[in-house]
Amino acid sequence: MLLTYQYKLNPTPQQVVTMETWAELLRRHYNYALGQRLDWLNRTRSQIDRCSLVSEPIGKILEKVDYYTQASDLKRTKELFPEYKTIYADCQQQNLMRLDKAWKRWLIPDKNGKRGGRPRFKKRGDICSFTFARVNSSKAGAHLVGNTLKLSKIGEIEVILHRPIPNGFEIKQATILRKADGWYVSFSLEDKTVPATLPIDEIKTATGIDVGLEKFLTTADGQSIAVPQYYRKAQATLARQQRKLARKIKGSKNYHSSANKVARLHLHVARQRKEFHYQVAHWLVNSYDLIVFENLNIKGLARTRLAKSILDVAWGGFLQIVQAVAVRRGKHCLGIDPKGTSINCSGCGARVEKTLAVRVHRCGCGLVIDRDWNSALNLLNMDRLDYRFLAAEA
């Protein structure tokens, strides 16, 4: 099991300049490597004995460009551009690996037949991180000794260890990244003592959770949690800072200072939301052995007029956190098709048509409860749970 622990760094001004220079050079190399791949794709789009329907460049057809060919060209890159000699080799290779993953996500469909978007050229400042693939080994470029992080060609940087790294965890890699409020390091930790998943026949408590905009979630027990609306509450402050930013001369020191204030506000909202998600996730996992949720089409819902509210609650991020916390505790999570959960009666199974404006479920069988509670009960109905799926996961 891999976990990520993130810590604040306290670099010197000279180290900040070095890391910013690295990020900019890696951005340029990323764009050059992406251009190579796109050029190869355009030249080989049609077979050699056919004509393309669109205009294509002519000339020598290059060999296939992939990670291995581009990684082997790094030596030539350093000869032509000596400034790349100042960057640790592993960081340059990891930069090419990042491009390779984006390229494969675009061209190769996943198990659901979906593909990612076409990789884009990065603007100045878009790449603000680089990765050391090995930590605390003989050939590693990063070493953590106490609260000091020793980085090859950068030097020693103080790490603010606000929580200790757990005993028995092995640091696999370190990613240095820049945020609006400074520089951070993310350690990828491997824990080989993964807790055993709770056997199916030992599940004692289970619940269904229905997420919404009026209430963040409602459980099958009738408990509900209010929507915190962190972004909505910060909108007035954000709007004021953005108006100040719009009055600044683009590219000036005042412009960059004002832009940083806006970025810090967005970062604060994101951290508030993430902390709230973790608190709710730990409460659910501590209370129940099995959590059933809806597999919602969140991207589709985010294209509606409720987009701002849907993105503010961030259901997708929350459900990912719940599943990650459940795995660490050996508990079960199960996502099912949401079709009919809001319409069907949890008491008798009859269909009770209602619009989104109707917040109370009223059925002819006499059941009158909150519609979100009714949906959570439907999620928990035993005939909807595929225990064979759970058994396969275990």
* Single pTM value for the model: 0.85
Three-state DSSP state, 151: strand
Are 245 and 259 in contact by the 8 Å Cβ rule? The answer is yes
Label residue 140 by pLDDT band (50, 70, 90). very high
Position 27 scores a pLDDT of 96
Determine the residue type at 50: R
Q: Where are the beta strands (DSSP E) in 240-359?
A: 290-294, 332-336
Structure tokens at 113: 């037949």
Q: What is the pLDDT of residues 290-319, one digit of tens each?
A: 999 988 888 888 888 889 999 999 999 999
Report the distance separating Cα 379 and Cα 362, nearest Å.
18
pLDDT tens column, 19-40:
999 999 999 999 999 999 998 8
Going from the C-alpha of 103 to that of each of 27, 42, 89, 95, the distances in angstroms are 16, 14, 21, 13
Which among 150, 138, 133, 144 has a CA at the least distance from the CA of 95? 133
Q: 188-241: per-residue pLDDT in tens?
A: 998 877 677 888 878 888 899 999 888 999 998 889 999 999 999 999 999 999
Query: Residue 325: is it exposed, middle or buried by C-beta count within 10 angstroms (0-12/13-18/19+)?
Result: buried
Number of H helices, E strands in the chain: 11, 14
Total residue length of the chain: 394
pLDDT the model gives residue 383: 44
Q: Which of 202-211, 271-280, 353-362 has the highest mean pLDDT?
A: 271-280
User: Looking at 69-78, 98-107, 167-176, 378-387, which range is the least confident one?
Assistant: 378-387
Q: Which residue has the higher pLDDT, 270 or 2?
A: 270
Name residue 226's amino acid: A
Closest CA to 322 of 280, 380, 269, 288: 280
With 60 as the cut, is the pLDDT of residue 387 above it? no
Q: What band does 160 get if pLDDT is binned at 50, 70 and 90?
A: very high
Choose the weakest-confidence range: 52-66, 302-316, 352-366.
52-66
